[in-house]
Structure 1
Amino acid sequence: MPKLPAPTKMSDHTSIPSIAGDGHDETPSQSLWRRYLEIKQFDQRRNDFIEELLSRYESVNEAFRQECEDHEREREFNRRCQRKLKELDSRMHRYEGDLDLESYVMILIDGDGLIFHDNLLLEGAIGGQRAAGLLEQYVYDYIRSDFPDIPPSVKISARVYANVKGLSETCRRASITSNTLLIPEFVIGFSQGKFLMDFVDVGSGKDRADQKVVEQLKLNLRNRHCRQILLGGSHDNGYTRILGEIVNYEQAVQKITLIEGVPFAREYGSLPFRVRKFGELFRPQKINLFEPGLPTPFPPPGLGLYQNQLQSPGTPTSIVSPATDNLMSPASVASPTSATGTGWANVAAKAARLPAPPNPTPTVRDSSGIPRNRKGQRIDPPTGNPGIDEVTRVKRLKMCNVHFLRNECPYSKACTHVHDYKPTKAEIETLKLVARSQPCIHGTGCNDPKCIYGHRCPHPKAGKGGNLPKNCHFFDDCKFPVEMHNMDLNVVQFQVIRN
């Protein structure tokens, strides 16, 4: 086989013949060169395209790698979060269980004004135990009916703060009991009745019970285990200051319920708190103090002129009036001795209208006695009209009404109100008006010559509502009973109590 000649290697500098024309008149060499150049151009575009693909691939591959790394980090983060969430859920369930187990309702009572009913106090230690049990039951019923989110296993705790010695003396002077040991026994019985309920003796001194209650209120309000607070202080408008600060916090407002014993002071009217009344547990009125020998408190309205015949038959009573006036018309009556007890509740429940007295001997009209109208109702003498600002100012002085208006005070140095102030004559008149804003528990038949409380509603009339039972601008919310409204103010006789 003949040996072929080696192919000739073209130099890079080999000249390329010019190619002209449309290809019909080109030489074979020019045709080859033309075709070569076309292939070369195609290869160049292909190489550029491949390089572009490789560059894009590298960019996409780097972005993908970063995404994979980010995804891996997120996946690991999600795993950690899921593990943490499971741990938190488990801890939350344990916490909720502990919260339910440790949940409690706190009852805070100012025992100097929110006082348990007489029938409980008179039972001593047994009454204290009964009071603790009733209080717990009432609160349990209230919580279960009004707060379904509070677990049924919630604990009921109570703190009652009072000056026990002062309360005992008050009950003795008000003739609720002659045995001053019954009240301390009641206190002990209350504390022993339930393990989470305490009756604390704060001793004598100004606002000691108030301060205890307020500090306990602040403490329990911030405690997440405390689900509800029942505050008993309706007798004292001083609590409206702290409550007025709380009204700006909705969650705190929902956490407080006010217990009503004696009617709320007017300052409570604008507060948005819930109100609960345990009528069979607490007294609906304050205890008024009277010296020994004065009529026993709480006679029913209408016993009036002759209530002292039930309590102190030996005390003479004379009625001074014009000869033409008769005090009462004769009426049948049950015997006063038919009452089985000497307490005010038994007298009020069983006493009937007393018969008319024998016609009194006509004498000179004695204006130093107790003024009464034709029905025998006591009529308070008029006072000045100092204006609301002056009344508010005198109230803020915290003067002791009993000390300045009766010249006596059963608490003496232990009294929580001011004794050493020197009021002007005008301030004394305003103080009389302040004292008469509280209805007398004896009603219109009060026999106490030195009584400082109101025997008729002092509030302005309702105008067009004159036919209403309570014709004053407070209507049914007025603390004065119906019989102290629409009274005949014409004085026709004076009752003189002679000791």
Structure 2
Amino acid sequence: MAHYDPFASSFDHPLINSSPDFSSRNGTFSNRPVGGLQSSSLAGVLPSFGSQQPLRDRLTIWKELDAERHLLLNDLLYQLETTQEQLRKTRLEQQASNCLDYEDRNAFVMVLIDGDGTVFNKELLSKGEAGGKEAANRLVLAASDLIAQRLAHLQSPKLVLRIYADLAALSDLLVRSQIIESPLTLDDFIRGFNSSEALFDFVDTGNRPGATADKVCQLLKLNLYDCHCHQVIFAPSHSREYGVALQEVLGDSQVVSHLTLVESVPFDKELEHVQSQFHSARFDSIFCKSRPSGLAAIAPPKPASAVLPALTKVESNKTTANSSASSTPAPNWATITAAIPPAPPGLKALANGSTTSVNSSKAGSKVAGKPGKPRTIQTNRFGQRIDDTDSTIPNYEIQRVKKLKLCNLYYLQGKDMCPSSSCTHRHDYPISNSERRTLREVARMTPCYFRTECENPDCIYGHQCPQNKPNEPDCYFKEDCRYHGWGHGIDTRVVKTTKI
């Protein structure tokens, strides 16, 4: 196509010049009509037409050429955009493939257990260190079977296990429930458990109320959104915080399938409505199927028995050669009754039909409670247990009794109820009836392990904060209160009294 320079001194365009050309290159004068064509300059570009062709026809031709040019540009842009989109998809697929390879390279499954509510069974705990190792092996097998079913695409993922519990409260519960004989047995069990696998840990959370649930909830969220964690096997307790945490998980459809709930004991009301929306599993050969009772029934003392020898008739006025020669006198009623050991004090009380033990030389050894008094549990409209407190006891008297450091179990439930042979609280104080009532109020300041769901009528511990006020979420001590998170704002109006 010919090119024209409009700034050149010899500019000569066939479609623009309509006046005589006084500056043509050859210096000759030419007078062309407007739109006069030169075949040599537009040959091959425009179709040939006469010099008298209307301007509108020529404009139509130019519009057609512009349309063709626009179509060409659109086709080029479409091909460019298509190529760019294909390139972007290819890069994303490559990045996703690399990411999957990276995730699978360090893939692991987290087993997260709240040890306050999910307790190992008696068979394992009673074996001490050997039981801890056996429990770890059973968990490995159970989790491996679950991984093989749900994550078949993974090849040998790592298994990480964390158990969190308040070990002081747990050992006390297990001893009182007669699952283990001494807190040292639990220490041996944990030692064996932790030493069995490199990534298995049984962690003490301390005695701060709600510490276990706080730690477990934070680790649950952390691992659910970890790209390397492909599954969380979660064994919760009865804490309400877990219901809130699981509701948040349900709100994110991307991680719901990554969570499996382990049910050892039946879930509470807070978890029942969300249980069906997650995968679930049971490890019945590892954990208790029911919660340990805080106070196991103690069998009444068995009466002492003695084998009575056959009685022989003793002649008072006659002696024989054999009898005089014998060094062992013939048994009679006096010698037999002397040989029978005396009955324990508690047996006499049981024989008399009394539920209290008799007084001993040590004051305060009898069980608090009057003979024949019905054993009851008071609950509100929500089924929460309500404590029967005595508001007439002055605060200074409560503080005085607290400073005495008396053993609650010994003075409120009987001398045989304290399981510790090295108890650091007093067993020798001559307690009065009024002090015993005050001590009962002091014992209520210690939260019960089962909280408001306790069903033991003889439980001496608290089931709501002593300073609890309905509809108030906290007391004076705020987060430092031992009942923080569950023991406040409880309706104390009793609507049901259950006799046990």
**What secondary structure, in the 3-state scheme, does the structure 1 residue paired with 2:119 have?**
coil
Give deviations 1:306-325, integer Å, cap 9, x for gaps.
68999xx975654889xxxx
Please report the RMSD computed on the Cα atoms of aligned residues, expressed in angstroms: 4.8
The answer for the alignment partner of 1:132 in structure 2 is 136
Choose the corresponding residue for 1:230, options 212, 218, 233. Answer: 233
Cα distance in 2, alignment partners of residues 286 and 58 from structure 1: 92
Cα distance in 2, alignment partners of residues 320 and 109 from structure 1: 45
The answer for the alignment partner of 2:313 in structure 1 is none
Deviation of 1:268 after TM superposition, in Å, equals 2.2
The answer for the alignment partner of 2:273 in structure 1 is 270
Deviation of 1:243 after TM superposition, in Å, equals 2.6
Choose the corresponding residue for 2:99, options 95, 99, 108. Answer: 95
Cα distance in 2, alignment partners of residues 71 and 160 from structure 1: 64
Cα distance in 1, alignment partners of residues 346 and 439 from structure 2: 34
Give deviations 1:2-54, integer Å, cap 9, x for gaps.
xxxxxxxxxxxxxxxxxxxxxxxxxxxxxxxxxxxxxxxxxxx9767675554
Deviation of 1:213 after TM superposition, in Å, equals 0.6
Are 1:84 and 2:88 matched, yes or no? yes
**Contact kept in structure 1, 2:412 and 2:440, CA below 8 Å:** no
Unaligned runs of 5+ in 2: 1-48, 306-341, 358-371, 389-407, 425-437, 462-497
**Structure 1 residues 48 and 125, CA gap change in structure 2 (3 angstroms):** farther
Deviation of 1:405 after TM superposition, in Å, equals 7.8
**Contact kept in structure 1, 2:116 and 2:237, CA below 8 Å:** no
Cα distance in 1, alignment partners of residues 439 and 381 from structure 2: 18
**Contact kept in structure 1, 2:104 and 2:154, CA below 8 Å:** yes
The answer for the alignment partner of 1:280 in structure 2 is 285
Are 1:186 and 2:179 matched, yes or no? no
**Contact kept in structure 1, 2:232 and 2:260, CA below 8 Å:** yes
Amino acid paired to 1:218: K
Q: Name which of structure 1's ranges 78-87 and 153-162 shifts more when overlaid on structure 2.
A: 78-87
Alignment of 1:426-445 (within 5 A): 438=454
Amino acid paired to 1:278: F
Are 1:388 and 2:381 matched, yes or no? yes
Unaligned runs of 5+ in 1: 1-44, 291-296, 322-359, 370-378, 396-401, 414-421, 441-448, 454-488, 492-499
Deviation of 1:150 after TM superposition, in Å, equals 5.8
Deviation of 1:132 after TM superposition, in Å, equals 2.1
Choose the corresponding residue for 2:79, options 61, 75, 78. Answer: 75
The answer for the alignment partner of 1:104 in structure 2 is 108
Choose the corresponding residue for 2:214, options 211, 216, 238. Answer: 211
Amino acid paired to 1:96: L
Give deviations 1:192-231, integer Å, cap 9, x for gaps.
3222222222233322222111111122233233332222
Choose the corresponding residue for 1:151, options 150, 154, 158. Answer: 154
The answer for the alignment partner of 1:259 in structure 2 is 262
Deviation of 1:173 after TM superposition, in Å, equals 4.5
Deviation of 1:289 after TM superposition, in Å, equals 4.4
**What secondary structure, in the 3-state scheme, does the structure 1 residue paired with 2:132 have?**
helix
**Contact kept in structure 2, 1:143 and 1:150, CA below 8 Å:** no
Deviation of 1:385 after TM superposition, in Å, equals 6.0
Cα distance in 1, alignment partners of residues 197 and 382 from structure 2: 47
**Contact kept in structure 2, 1:144 and 1:152, CA below 8 Å:** no
Amino acid paired to 2:167: V
**Contact kept in structure 1, 2:374 and 2:499, CA below 8 Å:** no
The answer for the alignment partner of 2:118 in structure 1 is 114
Choose the corresponding residue for 1:160, options 158, 163, 181. Answer: 163
**What secondary structure, in the 3-state scheme, does the structure 1 residue paired with 2:384 have?**
helix
RCO greater where, 1 or 2, for CA within 8 Å and sep 6 or more?
Answer: 1
Amino acid paired to 2:78: E
**What secondary structure, in the 3-state scheme, does the structure 2 residue paired with 1:388 have?**
coil
Are 1:58 and 2:62 matched, yes or no? yes
TM-score (norm 1): 0.52
The answer for the alignment partner of 1:473 in structure 2 is none
Give deviations 1:350-395, integer Å, cap 9, x for gaps.
xxxxxxxxxx6xx6x65769xxxxxxxxx99364765415837779
- Structure with more helix by fraction: 1
**Contact kept in structure 2, 1:202 and 1:209, CA below 8 Å:** yes
Cα distance in 2, alignment partners of residues 287 and 261 from structure 1: 12
**Contact kept in structure 2, 1:253 and 1:272, CA below 8 Å:** no
Cα distance in 2, alignment partners of residues 78 and 490 from structure 1: 79
The answer for the alignment partner of 1:494 in structure 2 is none
